[in-house]
Amino acid sequence: MTYDPSLRVLTVLELLQAHETVTGAELARTLEVSPRTVQRYIMRLQDLGIPVEGKRGVGGAYRLKAGFRLPPLMFTGDEALSLALGLLALQQLGLSDLTPAAGAARAKLARTLPAALRDTVQALEEAVQFDASPWVVNTDAGLLQRMLQAVREHHTARLGYTSHRREATERRVDIYRVLHVDGRWYAAGLCHLRASLRVFRLDRIASFEVLDDAFEPPTDFDALALVRREQPQRKAYEVSVWLAAPPAELRGQVSMWYTDLCAEGAGTRLRGKREHLSSFAAFLLGLGVDFQIESPPELRAEFGKLAARCAAAQEGSSGLRSIP
């Protein structure tokens, strides 16, 4: 049997983790090396901080310190690239609190990889750049962690919540799932106050407490379907607008939640649902491209209101004295 030197040291570690004690003679036979070479491998593990205990020499036995277990950290190329990309993309989930932890995890990952694979991952980190979406809402990572605890332990949570109508209430909720949709984190489950299934945005939760009360979650609960079912109830206006820019240029600037962007002529047809037409009208102006409104007529009326406000602001500004 032929071994690469680094693989021999790893094999010693695997044998030590698999058995309570292993003699030097057993290691020598398995690795097909001399007992003195085994001693060098043991010393190498100890230099790496692995707590190997035992007596060296002929007939000596070795063991790992009681309670010590080293998790497996051998990754394939695809696994290492997946981990590296996931850590880089963490901020796109609105969890900037975890940025320092992600950096430390990337450093640990680099230390566990062979040189060639480490260079590949480093090249990926230097070459890949993520564009920060304006739609991502930053979320408290500590809140998310406590919420996942409630989901895992099937315990009811008490939370202070502010609705989209800015109504502050205290809720007791059996949280079945936590999900990330269109730049926001949501908790979905049974709301005791409303006695029905509800969806809660994490960025609107002011306080959160895991209670001792337990619940049994349903086996066929679809949180994503619940979010999609609730959202249209508040987005009453069907909008259709033609924009003088290609779809590729608009993606990343336009929220894709209940929105379709399709190439049409020399531009893009935007179709979707919007609840607040005033803010959508201002958004269209801020895009900096020409557009034509097909529907709804209420959207055209919003531009009339914006024009009146702009005119009033212009007149007010002309009457002000310049500040020296």
Percent of the chain with pLDDT over 70: 87
Q: What's the token pair of residue 287?
A: 């895009």
Q: What's the token pair of residue 284?
A: 């269209």
Q: What's the token pair of residue 212?
A: 């001792």
What is d(CA 112, CA 118) in angstroms, rounded to the nearest whole number? 8
DSSP line for 61-72 = EEEEPTT--PPP
The sheet carrying 168-181 orders its strands as 196-201, 184-191, 168-181, 155-162, 205-214
Percent of the chain with pLDDT over 90: 27
pLDDT tens-digit map of 7-45? 778 788 878 887 888 888 888 888 888 888 888 888 888
What is d(CA 246, CA 282) in angstroms, rounded to the nearest whole number? 20
pLDDT tens-digit map of 144-187? 999 999 999 999 999 999 988 889 999 999 999 999 887 789 99
What is d(CA 91, CA 97) in angstroms, rounded to the nearest whole number? 9
Does 77 or 216 have the greater pLDDT score?
216
Place of tokens 């062979």: 114
Poorest-confidence range of 107-116, 126-135, 160-169, 249-258?
Answer: 126-135
User: Cα 285–259–275 angle (5° rounding)?
Assistant: 65
296: burial class by Cβ within 10 Å (0-12, 13-18, 19+)? middle
Handedness of CA 98, 252, 148, 74 (dihedral sign): negative
pLDDT tens-digit map of 228-243? 877 655 556 889 999 9
Kindly state which CATH superfamily the domain 235-315 is placed in. Answer: Malonyl-CoA ACP transacylase, ACP-binding (3.30.70.250)
Res 176: pLDDT: 96
| pTM, entire model | 0.55
Domain ranges of the chain: 5-64, 77-127, 141-231, 235-315
User: Cα 163–165–171 angle (5° rounding)?
Assistant: 25
Average pLDDT along the chain? 83
Q: What backbone phi and psi angles, to 5 degrees, belong to 294?
A: -95, -45
To the nearest 5 percent, what fractions of the chain are helix, strand and coil? 45, 25, 30
**Spatial contact of 198 and 159, defined as CB atoms under 8 Å apart:** no
Position 2 confidence tier, pLDDT thresholds 50, 70, 90 = very low
Helix or strand holding residue 167 (H, E): none
CATH architecture type of domain 5-64:
Orthogonal Bundle (1.10)
Poorest-confidence range of 69-73, 175-179, 258-262?
Answer: 69-73
What is d(CA 214, CA 148) in angstroms, rounded to the nearest whole number? 14
Q: What backbone phi and psi angles, to 5 degrees, belong to 272?
A: 180, -165
Helices (H), the chain: 5-18, 24-31, 35-47, 77-88, 99-112, 115-127, 141-153, 223-230, 247-250, 277-286, 297-318
Q: What is the CATH number of domain 141-231?
A: 2.30.30.520
